[in-house]
Structure 1
Amino acid sequence: MKQIMTIETYNQLKAIGDPLRAEMMMYLCEGPYTGQQLSETLDIPRGKIHYHLKELEKNNIIEIVKKEEKNGIVQKFYRSVANGFTISEELLPFHEVDQTTRQIIYSMIDRAKKRVQTAPKEAFEKKNNSENPEDWGYMSTAMEIEASEAQFKQWTNKYFALMDELEKMGEETEEEKNIYYFFNLGFQVQEFAFKKREKKDS
């Protein structure tokens, strides 16, 4: 499974930009689902789910990862071909790119909210009210920074390398492990929402 897949055709962009498909993709990026499972999870008729699965599969955004026979019926398990998606610069002139990206992000935010609601109690506990982040069971940051586009891109590469390192660490250790959900979002804005901190005189 790829870490990132580039959306390279207009048809792929249309396929992944549909609001329902974007919501389905949040689940299919996490693991394999049948059409029936997605239908029950999203409370949407199975026929409608299967139609959208076929559109995503036709555009090589998802794939069948396994098949199981149950009561004489072959169940197909679908999964995203990548953990995340980016859009080719060649598609940028299309005005739909902006709305498609926003729709994907909206779905990601909704999915993250559901994960917060269903997380175990200990996920958000602080040990002894410690101010040391190492003693917290979670990470939470909201901040605004100034950087050039080149600096932002350089930092983004470091971030993804760090996430790859974290994923490999979990595979290598034999210690008891917890499951951690990460949702990160960074984007350009027009102005500061937080009051800008004044730099201290050196």
Structure 2
Amino acid sequence: MKPMFTLSNYAQLKALSDPLRAEIMIRLIEKSYTGQQLSEIFGLSRAKIHYHLKELEKNELIEIVKKEEKNGIIQKFYRSVARGFTPSSQLLPQIGDVSETSRQLLLQLNDRTRNAILSASEHAFQLEQASEEPSNWSYVGATWHFSAKEEHFKKWIKKYHSLMKEFSEMTKNDQPDEPDSKMYYLSTMAFQVEEPLIEELKSEKEE
């Protein structure tokens, strides 16, 4: 799976702007599923799920990664072609559709993060010791609001992706079945808002 896929045409953009397809895509970024499995997850008919899978496959956003035979029926497992999606420069004139596609993907990612928090064990949120040192924490949960120039925000994004690439390289040989290895769920969102949402930041701006 590629880290990033560039949407090159309007059909791809529209395919991702549909809320249900956006939710399907988030699932298929996480792991591969058959149409039947997705039908059970969403409580929808196989025909409806199959239609949306075909639309996503037709637009080269998902692909079949394996096939298995079960009870004489060939099951196809679908997976997203990338972990993230970005529009090409030629799609920027359709800024409204680009924005809506991004919004839908973030909304579905937010829902999946919420579900992951609710399904995590109590141990995931237990602190082994009281400490103000972040390296001693067993989980991270924070909301930050900044007033920043766009160029500074973009520099932060670049550093963030560089850090995640470094972390991925650091952990590439860590196997889930190792005694000291644990599974972690990381979810990050950052986007522009119209006004400060944290009271302290509002007060600073007014002074």
TM-score if structure 2 supplies the norm length? Answer: 0.90
Shift of the alpha carbon at 1:40?
1.0
State the partner residue of 2:29. Answer: 29
State the partner residue of 2:189. Answer: 185
* Structure 2: unaligned runs, 5 residues or longer: none
Quick one: which amino acid aligns to residue 146 of structure 2?
I
Matched, 1:42 2:46: no
Quick one: which amino acid aligns to residue 195 of structure 2?
E
State the partner residue of 1:97. Answer: 98
* Structure 1: unaligned runs, 5 residues or longer: none
State the partner residue of 2:51. Answer: 51
Q: What is the SS of the residue equivalent to 2:31? A: coil
State the partner residue of 2:154. Answer: 153
Asked if 2 retains the 8 angstrom alpha-carbon contact of 1:122 and 1:137, the reply is: no
Quick one: which amino acid aligns to residue 134 of structure 1?
S
Residues 33 and 173 of structure 1: CA distance in aligned 2, closer, same or farther (over 3 Å): closer
Matched, 1:3 2:7: no
Counting aligned pairs with the same residue, the percent is: 49
State the partner residue of 1:139. Answer: 140
TM-score if structure 1 supplies the norm length? Answer: 0.92
Q: RMSD of the TM alignment (CA)?
A: 1.7
Between the aligned partners of 1:186 and 1:166, the Cα distance in structure 2 is 19
Between the aligned partners of 1:97 and 1:139, the Cα distance in structure 2 is 30
Between the aligned partners of 2:67 and 2:12, the Cα distance in structure 1 is 25
* Offset from partner CA, 1:41-89 (integer Å, 9 cap, x none): 1211111111100000000000000011111100000000001111223
